[in-house]
Amino acid sequence: EIVLTQSPGTLSLSPGERATLSCRASQSVSSSYLAWYQQKPGQAPRLLIYGASSRATGIPDRFSGSGSGTDFTLTISRLEPEDFAVYYCQQYGSSQNTFGQGTKLEIK
Amino acid sequence: EVQLVQSGAEVKKPGESLRISCKGSGYSFTSYWISWVRQMPGKGLEWMGRIDPSDSYTNYSPSFQGHVTISADKSISTAYLQWSSLKASDTAMYYCARHNEWEPIDPWGQGTLVTVSS
C-alpha cells in the first residue's frame, strides 16, 4: 500500500498570499495518478487536480499541481477567502487507492 | 447531470447490522466503479474499497477487508455498504463516489452519517 504524507498539517496564510502544499509518497506513484481534493466543513470533497497537474472542470486557474514520482505539490497562486479549507492528495495508480492525511489551510 | 444520492443518516446500537445505499443517475451505472470512503469525526479520508457494478467484482483496503461488505444491484443502479455487527468505532461519515481504473474519484455522494451508540 502506498502511504501519502502531506505537509504541513496546518498552513496559516492571508488572502492574496500564495499557498504551497506538499504530498510525498512512500513509493513512486504510477504514471502520476495523483489527485488533489478540497473539502469544506459539512461538504463532500471536491476534485481539484488529477494526473498530478490537470485541473478538473470548473476549477479556477489559481490552482495548479505539479510533481512526479514521489513528490507532488498543490499551489494556490493568490488565496481567495473561499479557498480556506482542508486539502487531500490521493493516489489512484494502484489497486489500493490511498489518501494523505490532509492539510488544513486556515486564515491567518 | 451525474449524481450519486446516498441514503439518510442512521443511529444504531453496537452489534446491530446496517446497510446504507448509494444510487447513481445521469450515467451508465455499469460503466463506472463505485468506491466507499470513510471519514471519522474530525479526521481525514480513508478509502475502504470499491465495486465494479458490471460484474460485482470488489477490491477492499486491507484495513476494511472482513469488516464491511460492498455490493451492488445494477438493475436499480444502487451500490451498498453493509455491516453485520456495528461497533462504536464505526461512527463516521461514509461517502460513495464514482470512478474507473486509473481515474480520480469524481463525483462524490453527499455522505451518510452513521452513529453507533448504546
pLDDT tens for each residue of chain A, 108 residues long: 899 999 999 999 999 999 999 999 999 998 789 999 999 999 999 999 999 999 999 999 999 999 999 999 999 999 999 999 999 999 998 888 999 999 999 999
* Cα pseudo-dihedral B44, B23, B28, B35, rounded to 10: 20
Residues of chain A contacting B46 with CB distance shorter than 8 Å: 99
Count how many residues are written for chain A.
108
Residues of chain B contacting A33 with CB distance shorter than 8 Å: 102, 104
* Residue A56 to residue B94: CA distance in whole angstroms: 23
* Residue A47 to residue A69: CA distance in whole angstroms: 21
DSSP state of A41: T
Residue of B nearest to A44 (CA): B110
Looking at the complex, does the CB of residue B110 fall below 8 Å from at least one CB of chain A? yes
Q: B105 vs A95: CB contact, 8 Å cut-off?
A: no
Reported as type and span, the H/E element at residue B52 is strand B45-52
Interface with B, mutate which of A96, A101, A103 (most B CBs under 10 A): A96
Q: How buried is residue A42: exposed, middle or buried, by Cβ count under 10 Å (0-12/13-18/19+)?
A: exposed
